[in-house]
Chains A and B, each alone.
Chain A
Amino acid sequence: MTTRAGDAVPSGAPVIIRGSLQGRYSGFASRFTAFAVDVGISLGVFLLALAAISFAALVLTGKDITWHKGDIWVIIAYAVWAFVYFAHSWAASGRTAGMALFGLRVVRDDGTDASGRRAVVRTLALPLSFLFLGLGFVGILLGDRRRALHDVIAGTAVIYSWDARAARLRFLSRG
């Protein structure tokens, strides 16, 4: 089974990609889904940490701490945690957990590994892409190199890092 122009995405059986996608600029759906997974993971870990802090405070001091999502300190703490999560992941391996799941990697615009400085700049510029109803993400859909605003600012790009051809061979070998 192969994909053709105009094909709808079939459900159930895997879509088999003809060639290897490795190194090619990744598309909107992969990036968006990976980002959604990352937000879920970072938020889940953050909420767990808050719950652990509340529990520890209750055990040690006997006082019950309640967190409100509108609390400025909670928002700042989450912003700091999200910055660490994304910046550290991109600097260390070029991928967050969500990106690893979907086989994506952040690289410099020439294809080499993204440095720590670019990872930090990319993380700081990420909120800018959400401004004006997410106008900064249009570049992923229309640009020749599928770069969002924060990619352009940081001099990075997102590529597929998984071997679709190997996946196809694995699928075929299992009949």
Chain B
Amino acid sequence: MAEVRPVPRSEAWARAATERAVERVVSALDVNALLDLVDLNAVLDQVDIDRVLDRIDLDRLLGRMDLNELVKHIDLNALVEQTDLGAIIAASSSGVAGDVLDVVRSQTVGLDEFIARWIGRLRRRPYTGPPGPPGRLRSGAGQ
């Protein structure tokens, strides 16, 4: 056990006097006016966030957090009630349907191109892609 050294009276008096002096200075200061003088943007520009983040030990931070306790504070029922699950399911299934449609269309267009190339070879006319668009569509469509 460490030995407690008694503080000399003069040192205690000096410490108390310093604390009172600091208190008086701080109370006399207009902190808002002081902050107005500080250009926070300039300060933030000088801060290297990546370097700051590198110095944070996330594992240690998470180790100190009780996530179970945190989850207990979340009202899951209210969260589920506020979530439109139907919309989420509809969006995901319409996304799948859209993907299938894209694949089917792409495959048939690929077959169109395949046939057109072979016809071009038989006719000895180089195939340069699907013809068109028709006159009135020409201005708005095309590659």
A and B together in one complex: yes
Bin chain B's interface residue count: 35 or more
Say yes or no: B114 contacts A167, CB within 8 Å.
no
Asked whether A16 and B106 contact (CB < 8 A) given A107-B134, A144-B131, A159-B137, the answer is yes
Of the candidates A3, A8, A20, A167, the one whose C-beta lies within 8 Å of that of B105 is A167
Chain A residues close to B by CB (< 8 Å): 3, 5-10, 14-30, 33, 101-103, 107-112, 141-142, 144-146, 157, 159-160, 162, 164, 167, 170-171, 174
Give bound CA distance, A27 to B127, whole Å.
13
A-B contact count (CB 8 A): 131
CB distance from A26 to the nearest CB of B (A): 7
Take A15-B107, A20-B143, A170-B102 as given contacts and tell me if A157 and B117 are in contact as well, using a CB distance cutoff of 8 Å. Answer: no
Q: Give min CB distance, A99 to chain B, whole Å.
A: 11
> Nearest chain A CB to B96's CB is how many angstroms away?
11
A14 engages B103 (CB within 8 Å): yes
Interface status of B104 (Cβ within 8 A of chain A): yes
Complex alpha-carbon distance, A170 and B102, angstroms: 9
The complex places the Cα of A116 from the Cα of B120 at a distance, in Å, of 35
